[in-house]
Amino acid sequence: AQSVAQPEDQVNVAEGNPLTVKCTYSVSGNPYLFWYVQYPNRGLQFLLKYITGDNLVKGSYGFEAEFNKSQTSFHLKKPSALVSDSALYFCAVRDRSGAKYVFFGTGTRLTVIA
């Protein structure tokens, strides 16, 4: 079985400050991990993914995420938040030895305050 937890429904951060959106996962095997972003009235857009190799992955719009196997986490980060980063963020996991669909978390709404 696979699952994803995004413990924060809402994250507020001041523009220019670093941001973190938390994600933990549970899979029976090894994971593929993804972050997607949903801007208002727009579809989900892929941000970044962890497949293998370097635990720190970099994605679109200056976002990055760190895979931590011991903590089963894949937190999304950005060094300096922009107002335009305000959106709904989804963490997702796929078990390499399990189902072929991606399992999504419930989402975290990020608000960047000017």
Chain contacts with another protein (rule: CB under 8 A): 9, 32, 34, 36, 42-46, 49, 51, 90, 92, 94, 96, 99-107
Please list, in sequence order, all residues whose beta carbon lies within 8 angstroms of the beta carbon of residue 33, skipping any fewer than 6 positions away: 23, 25, 49, 50, 65, 67, 74, 91, 92, 93
**Of 69 and 96, which CB lies nearer to another protein in the complex structure?**
96
Beta bridge partners of 74: 67
**Of 17 and 28, which CB lies nearer to another protein in the complex structure?**
28
**Of 26 and 32, which CB lies nearer to another protein in the complex structure?**
32
CA angle (113 as vertex; 79, 50 as ends), nearest 5? 35
**Of 15 and 88, which CB lies nearer to another protein in the complex structure?**
88
Q: What letter would DSSP give residue 63? A: -
Question: What gap in Å lies between CA 65 and CA 15, rounded to an integer?
Answer: 19
- Minimum Å distance from CB 82 to another protein? 23
- Minimum Å distance from CB 48 to another protein? 9
- Minimum Å distance from CB 44 to another protein? 4
